[in-house]
Every structure is written in structure tokens, then in C-alpha cells.
Structure 1
Amino acid sequence: MASSSATAAALVWFRRDLRLHDNPALWAAVRSGRPLVCAFIDDPDAVAQLAPGRASRWWLHHSLAALSRSIRQRGGQLVLRRGDTTSELVRLCGETGSSEVFWNRGDNPTRDSGDTALAARLADRGVKARGFASGTLFNPATHLNGSGKPYRVFTPFWKACLRAPEPSAALPAPDRLPGAAVTASDNLEDWSLRPQAPDWASGFSQDWEPGEDGALNRLEAFLANELADYPQSRDRPDEDGTSRLSPHLAWGEISPRTIWHTVRDHAERGGSFQGGEKFLSELGWRDFAIYLAHHFGSLRDENFNRQFDHFPWRSNPAGLDAWKRGQTGIPIVDAGMRQLWTTGWMHNRVRMITASFLIKHLGVHWRDGMAWFEDTLVDADLNVNAASWQWVAGSGADAAPYFRIFNPVTQGERFDPQGLYVHRWVPELTGLSGKAVHAPWTRPANELIAAGISLGQTYPAPVTDLKTGREQALDAYQTMKARAAETPEAASLETALGN
């Protein structure tokens, strides 16, 4: 039923929720019975750490284009504006006569505080702000441990979630979006979200279909082809065993609730129950990252375990540069970094391997790796990325112990046993196969010559000796512990964290 002031327009502010299905803010605005103004604002002066990286902006261009088409097909218009978010929303309300602004709340502490300030600014102008939850499966504010404190470990957190009522049903997409009068809009092309010269993202479109339809198609294909083997194949970069839904989730082209219920329905119709539950638990890790940010603040700037404030990180610009370019001389690492640069994505197992190598074998601060991933991943999610890097570094919540140091050769032999993943992304090594491809520096000279490999010329020699890098990492860890023990504040924090 239309509200009493149904003649006034309702403004729907799209953010990282670029979809029509299961969009609570959009649904509420449609239910109000008012003509709609749908808007997306690109704020170049937003807090730098919250701005999307270059690869994500490529995705954003195509996602906005897809959303605009979907809205237009239903009778509406997507208005694009660039500038300060608050100023542009206030201006749009004035131009369109909107008396309410509907949006889905952010999943970052900085965004949350900004939403509160924005609502106050709008209220000063007689405009009502209406915020909705849509980014997680479970409300991060509701789950606490037996002591009434937030969980710090994933497994008990997830068990508490599974004991809670199931996520509510996903909302359908509206059939029609009654548009208000046509409003002035920027031209998407003028935003230059895609790289031009050089077009380093030229290969992205071969791997991705940005937009809501692409997300739904990807989910359907995953359920049909990969879900049954997911528990076994998800760690194999040489196989197509993962969902590849991460960029669609990062931009909100599909909601976690839609995925949850689709996977559960699939299992009830005879699909893989084991595969479905394992996959949903991985989706739960995304919830956990947002949960941690909600209760403890952003993990991007501070170590969750404050002992790591005393860690002796090394300055290693040459190593960091070789890592970024996929020229470390460690095949599984180089394969992952080249996959990232070529496709804007990297297999999750390889993300852990490459991150561990940078942090532990090269001694580079986890923030430097996090920043590179945020700039080059099409699925860059600030909460998930930060939590993941801190997990590998040992400084995060429920983190792998720092002294758990991935051996990239062993990891390659285990998860890419035939070397197919390395061959795809490091073609210089196609002359080697099996275990040999993961440690070419150990092969006899005649074998390398026969394979057309000259270390240091056709393929780099390792930037570090793996044994030496491991020893340096363990020494640094002991140094950190000694420094922390000498600091009363750190000792108090250690006790408080239960370490």
C-alpha cells in the first residue's frame, strides 16, 4: 500500500549491492508506492582505504552497465553522480523532491559511522533515512560467546550461527520500478573506470561476466558442475573446483541469502549435501570477517594480536617487486601472481601460498601484500582481504600460528601434482613436469638444458633460499616475542587475548 506521501519520490542509493534480487532497500522503496530515483555515487574523495582498486573499478564499470540495463528494462533509470556522497545525495533529494532515502547499510566500521552522519544531515533537511541489512547471512551484533563477548575463533562462531534461525528467505526482484521524472546523470564512460593505455585488463572479460545475471549464471553452473566435488577439489588450483562467486559477492551482485537458500534447495532436490555444507561454511568465513570488523574495528590498520606490533619486518623492495611481477623463481608463487595480473583473480589455496611466501620467506609486512591484492583483485573485499592476510601472518583472529610456514614447493607438489597450474601460467617451465616443475633449481643441468630452461635467463633463480627464509622468519618471530615480553602494555594485551 502506498504511504500517505506517495507523490514524493523515494531515492534508492545503490552501493556494494548492485542487484535487484534480494535487495531490501529497493524492495522497501518499491513497497512505499512512490516513484523511484535509483542512484549510484562514485566518490573519488572518499577515504582512500575504502576506494576500490583498479581491477575492482574495471568490474564496477561493467556491473553498473548491467544494473542500468536491468533497471531500464523495468521502467526506471540509474542515475550516476560523481562527487562527495553526502552532498550528491542532498542535491539529488532537492532535484527530485525525494523525502526518503533507502539504502543497505555498509559492512565496514568506517562506512557505518559515515551512514550515521549522513542520516543526520538528511534529517536536518527533512529527509528520512532508511537503512537495511543485506550483506551477511547472520546479524553480526547478535552472536556472542558464553561470557557475552564476541567470538575470536571461527568454529564456535559458525556453530552459534548454525544454531540460530536460518537466514530469512531471499526477496524477489521487483517486476517494475516506477521511475520518477528523468534526472540528469553522468555518462558511465566519462568516469574512465576501465584502463585505457595500456589496457592491462584486456583479458578479464574472457573469464568474467560482471553483473547480476552473471552471478546467477555462475551459481547455477557451480551447483551443476563443481559442488559435488567441492570438499576435495577446492584446494586444487589445477582444477576448476571453486565457485568463482567472490567478485559477484564483493560488489553485491548476489546476496549471501540467495546463495544460502539456493544451495540448501539444491541439496534437498538430491544435490550434494556434503559439498553444500562445506561451501556454506566457506561463505561463513566471509560473515566472520565482517563480524570481526563489527566488533573489533577494521583489521586493515592494526594487528588483531597486538604482539605483532613488535614484529621486525624487513625492508625488501626488490623481493616485493619480484613477487608482484611473478618473477620470484618459485613456480607456484609466480603462477599465482601471474594469474592474478592476467585475470584479476587467484585461486584461494594459491593466495595462501603467495601470501605466506611474501610475509615469511621475504619478511615483507602483510599490509604491503594486502594493498597489492586490493588493487589487483576484481573480488577485493576490504574485510575479507584484511582478515585473510592477518590470518596468514599469524596476527589475526583464529590465525594460523606464525611458525606455520608454508613450503611452496611442498604445497605445489601436493595441490598441483602434475604441474598443470604452473604450466598454464609459467610457460617457461613446460619442459618440466610433476614434482620437477615445482623446484627447477634442484634439477640436474642436463635436464634443464633438455627442457630449454636457463635459470637466471629464461626463468629467474629463486629470490631467496627457502631454508634460509624460513630460519629468518622463525628468528624474527622470537625477536617479536622477546620485545613483547619487555613491554607491559603488550603483556597485558597478550593476557586479555588469551594467548
Structure 2
Amino acid sequence: METAFSCGLVWLRRDLRVHDNAALYHALKNCRQVHVAFVFDTAILDALPRADRRVEFIRESLVELDQRLAELGGEGRGLIVGHGVAEHDIPRLAHQLGALAVFASHDDEPLAQQRDAKVRGHLADHGIAFHTCKDHVIFERQEVMTQSGTAFSVFTPYKNAWLRKVNDFYLKAYPVERYAAHLAPRPEAQCQPVPRLSDLDFEVTNLKDLHIPAGESGGQSLLSDFLHRIDAYGQRRDFPAVKGPSYLSVHLRFGTVSIRQLAREAHARMIAGSEGAAVWLSELIWRDFYVQVLANFTHVGKGESFKREYDTIHWDHGPHGHKLFEAWCEGRTGYPLVDAAMRQLNQTGYMHNRLRMVVASFLCKDLGVDWRWGEKYFAQQLNDFDLSANNGGWQWASSSGCDAQPYFRIFNPVSQSEKFDAEGKFIRRYVPELSGLSAKAIHAPWLAGELELQAAAVELGKTYPRPIVDHAEAREKTLDRYAVVKKKAA
């Protein structure tokens, strides 16, 4: 095979795997020698808390990736890991290695776009090409459009168009292994192990205690487990005390599993008649939908509402709003399901999808707090934080986004609790001070009788807070707050 470049460099970002890696495939196919690098980018890391599970997850995934490259390419092969400002370090490394091209996967987040533009310029100064490709979604940017040639802003027609377009070509894996001989041995100066967390000025977290497996092997392990449960996904996914989800979101976020593999499995099983697989595939399509929203409606990535009229809503930004927001963050709102969900997030970096909707609705429509505050808090806490999905979810909950719930639809946190955690198992796990209450009383302890509260050692206002708002009253205030939107739309 005639190759286009004598030497190339693969820059890994959100594609931390060897198998079915689009950028790695294109580099190996088009270069006689290929180096693979990752940079712990201080432009991102400096703003993070020193105990951040995501950094540990990345680090553990890189250790495995380094081993896989050595196994695939032979002795001397492995991952080059840097720690600095990526927009400077990648061009410098490419020049040092004599690379004529750098290969990377697309990233449509605004800051990533700005970074990549600067990298492209720096590489051009050295006469080095910069090739990027799609990897972390099935369809991106303008690949799925309306019949009039515009981007979709409503999910169901997007999903239908997605399903009409998808075929084996879009779902097949990139045969990286076929070109493994082109992996180049690392220069002696670059033959360093993946830095320890302490080398990066980060601390070990509770990642292992939470049994969150990292790397390609971790993603495959979770997928294998989920495929035994996928047929029941539609019936089980909304109940936080039940093992219903795939738990693969953090692996999708960092690319330790291929979206093509997941969509291929789901699509094949859907065709074979699995209703659970059809529901799960729909969730994967939602992910593609939000990525193309971010790419085509760039104002959503700048803190603006998709529906711009929603930016006229008057949120409680004053001291009272800050107090309510703090209670929400800390899981002490007096609404057990909301508090349990927020405590789960704080303790584990994970939150069940149904509960993301419940707590987001509660923040915006019960507390009257700006959805952007919640979006930012989730960005800090979620192991699987992804700008497009996080922004899409928050704008859905606040009714300001694409295909969002109507502004007058307001989740009742008590009825949601009774429906999706009927026995209170999830609440008891994360709000143990209420564990002595009956299944009936645990959803709204302020309605329980005094004798039952005493028997359960619950003292409202002391061992557990009273509700910080009355839901019925808050609902009326929300309808008034959103009236400005209704008026503008009329």
C-alpha cells in the first residue's frame, strides 16, 4: 500500500481506545510510521478540583491503552503522554517527531473548536497537516438534515431520518489491527510511563470503591453485562433502585468504548424484535441529536437558550436564590427523592437519568433558579459530563431547548418518588436518616404522623429538613414566571 505520509501523529482526546478508533485507523492507513499521544491539558485540568474522578478514569484508561499499543505493535511501542498546554505541546511534539500530519477525532464543543483552530495554525507554521474525522457519534454536524436542508430541532423526525439513513457502512468498525505494523517505536526520551495522579497534582478518588471500571476492558465488561439485560431496558430504566441502565455513559464520554459497536448491537437486536434494544438505541440517537444541535445552533454552547425568548425569564439570582441553590446542591431540600439524587451525584459522580429530569425540573420550576446554575454544577460533578448532552438535558427540563417539555409541565417530586421508587429503596440508600419510615411516608415525611416520625427517629427541621418550598405554591409562581414567554409567543 502506498502511504501519503512518512510519519504521522495521532492525538487522542475523547477516543481513549485502540480498537475501532477512527483517527488511529486513518493515521495507520496513510502513514508509514505512526506515533500516538495524549496530553493532560492544563488548560482544562487547572480549573478542576484536585480530587476529580474523571482525571483518575482517564489516567487508568491511558495505562491500559499504553499496554494495548505495545501488544498490538510490538516492543518499544506505546503511548506518548504529555502534561502541559495541548495547543502548544502537540505542534511541538509533532515537529520533534518529524510528523508530516496530525490525526484527531472531531470535538464540536466551543472551547475545543477554538483550541483546534490554534493547533491547526501552529502545525501549519511547521508545514504539518491536521486531519480530523468523525468518531464519537454515528452521524454528526450536517449528516442528517431536514428535507429543506436545515438542521433538525425536533427529536422524533430526526430519529426517523437517522434510522432511514443508518446502515452497515455507518456501523462497521474501523480495522485498526490490519495496519498495526505501522505503529512506530517511541523515541527513547518519550518512553515514559503514564504519569501518576500525584505527578499531575491530583488525588486518588473513590473510583475503585464505586466499582467504575476504566479503559477498553471496563467498557467491554459493562457492555457484556448489559446485553444480558437489554431486552428489559424499556421496563427497568426509569427505576433508580433497579439495575436497569447500561452504565456506559462515562465510557462513551471518553471514548473507551466505540459508539459504532453500541449502535450496531442495539440496531441488530432491535431488528430481531427486542423492544428494550429499540429504546436503548433511541437513547443513543438522542446523544447524536444533541451533538448536532451544539454544532448547528452554536449559541446553545454560549450559555444562551435555544429558544431565545426564554432568556427573558426572571430567575431568582439574589441571596434567596443562592440559598435555595445551595440546599439543592447539598441534598437538603426536604424532598427525599431530590435529596437522594443529589447526594448520589455528590458521592459517586453518577445520577440516574430519570432523576436528572426530576432534580432539574425541581431547581428551575420549584425553586425558580436559573437552569445554567444547575448545568454548571452538573458539569463539575458528573463523571460522564458532556457539554452537548448536559446542555440539552437542562434546556429540556427548563423548557428552553430543542423539543423540550412544555413550560407548564412541572414534575411533582413526590408523585415521581411514589412512582419510580415506590418502596423507598433508593431514598433509604442515600438519605439514611429516613430509613425508618414506611414506604408510604418516606416520599413526603412532613405528611407523616407524629408517632411514626418519632418511631423512625425523624425530627423535621433537625434530623431532616422541612420542604424548602411548597410544590403547589411554587408551581403557580413558575407559571407566572414563564408568562413572559407565553406573552412573547402570542
Q: TM-score, normalised by structure 1?
A: 0.89
- Offset, 1:351: 0.7
- Offset, 1:97: 1.2
SS of equivalent to 2:408: coil
Residue 478 of structure 1 aligns with an amino acid whose one-letter code is: A
Q: For residue 72 of structure 1, what is the aligned residue in structure 2? A: 70
Q: For residue 161 of structure 1, what is the aligned residue in structure 2? A: 162
SS of equivalent to 1:34: strand
Measured in 1, the distance between the counterparts of 2:11 and 2:278 equals 34
Aligned pair partner of 1:188 in 195, 219, 230: 195
- Offset, 1:32: 3.2
Measured in 2, the distance between the counterparts of 1:372 and 1:193 equals 24
Q: For residue 488 of structure 1, what is the aligned residue in structure 2? A: none
- Offset, 1:456: 1.3
- Offset, 1:194: 7.9
User: Any idea what the Cα deviations from partners look like across 1:325-364, whole Å, max 9, x if unmatched?
Assistant: 1111110001101111121101000111111111111111
Measured in 2, the distance between the counterparts of 1:232 and 1:386 equals 26
- Offset, 1:183: 3.9
Measured in 2, the distance between the counterparts of 1:51 and 1:324 equals 16
Measured in 2, the distance between the counterparts of 1:127 and 1:3 equals 16
1:475 aligns with 2:472: no
User: Any idea what the Cα deviations from partners look like across 1:120-159, whole Å, max 9, x if unmatched?
Assistant: 3312311122211112111331222233221110000010
Count of aligned residue pairs for this structure pair:
477
User: Any idea what the Cα deviations from partners look like across 1:222-259, whole Å, max 9, x if unmatched?
Assistant: 011x2111111111112110111100001111121111
Measured in 1, the distance between the counterparts of 2:48 and 2:430 equals 31
Q: Is the 8 A contact 1:43 1:84 kept in 2?
A: yes
Residue 72 of structure 1 aligns with an amino acid whose one-letter code is: A
Q: For residue 387 of structure 2, what is the aligned residue in structure 1? A: 382
Q: For residue 294 of structure 1, what is the aligned residue in structure 2? A: 295
Change (3 A) 1:4 1:345: closer
Q: Is the 8 A contact 2:379 2:390 kept in 1?
A: yes
1:281 aligns with 2:294: no
Measured in 2, the distance between the counterparts of 1:266 and 1:182 equals 48
1:465 aligns with 2:470: yes
Measured in 2, the distance between the counterparts of 1:14 and 1:252 equals 10
SS of equivalent to 1:438: coil
Measured in 1, the distance between the counterparts of 2:14 and 2:147 equals 34
1:119 aligns with 2:107: no
Q: For residue 17 of structure 2, what is the aligned residue in structure 1? A: 19
Change (3 A) 1:295 1:245: same
Measured in 2, the distance between the counterparts of 1:298 and 1:35 equals 40
Q: Is the 8 A contact 1:307 1:480 kept in 2?
A: yes
Measured in 2, the distance between the counterparts of 1:393 and 1:404 equals 10
Residue 102 of structure 1 aligns with an amino acid whose one-letter code is: F
- Worse overlay, 378-387 or 162-171: 162-171
Q: For residue 431 of structure 1, what is the aligned residue in structure 2? A: 436
Residue 239 of structure 1 aligns with an amino acid whose one-letter code is: V
Q: For residue 218 of structure 2, what is the aligned residue in structure 1? A: 214
In structure 2, stretches of 5+ residues that fail to align are none
Q: For residue 311 of structure 2, what is the aligned residue in structure 1? A: 309
- Offset, 1:47: 11
Measured in 2, the distance between the counterparts of 1:409 and 1:173 equals 51
Residue 137 of structure 2 aligns with an amino acid whose one-letter code is: T
Q: TM-score, normalised by structure 2?
A: 0.91
User: Any idea what the Cα deviations from partners look like across 1:28-70, whole Å, max 9, x if unmatched?
Assistant: 2222352322111122225999999934223222222222232
1:373 aligns with 2:375: no
Q: For residue 237 of structure 1, what is the aligned residue in structure 2? A: 240
Change (3 A) 1:346 1:192: farther
Measured in 2, the distance between the counterparts of 1:291 and 1:454 equals 49
Residue 283 of structure 2 aligns with an amino acid whose one-letter code is: E
SS of equivalent to 1:207: coil
1:404 aligns with 2:405: no
Root-mean-square deviation (Å): 2.5
SS of equivalent to 1:122: helix
Aligned pair partner of 2:340 in 325, 335, 338: 335
- Offset, 1:291: 0.8
- Worse overlay, 347-356 or 314-323: 314-323
Change (3 A) 1:52 1:154: farther
Change (3 A) 1:242 1:190: closer
Measured in 2, the distance between the counterparts of 1:267 and 1:284 equals 13
In structure 1, stretches of 5+ residues that fail to align are 486-493
Q: For residue 250 of structure 1, what is the aligned residue in structure 2? A: 253
Q: Is the 8 A contact 2:4 2:30 kept in 1?
A: no
- Offset, 1:267: 5.6
Q: For residue 151 of structure 1, what is the aligned residue in structure 2? A: 152
Q: For residue 35 of structure 2, what is the aligned residue in structure 1? A: 37
Change (3 A) 1:34 1:50: farther
Q: For residue 267 of structure 2, what is the aligned residue in structure 1? A: 264
SS of equivalent to 1:435: coil
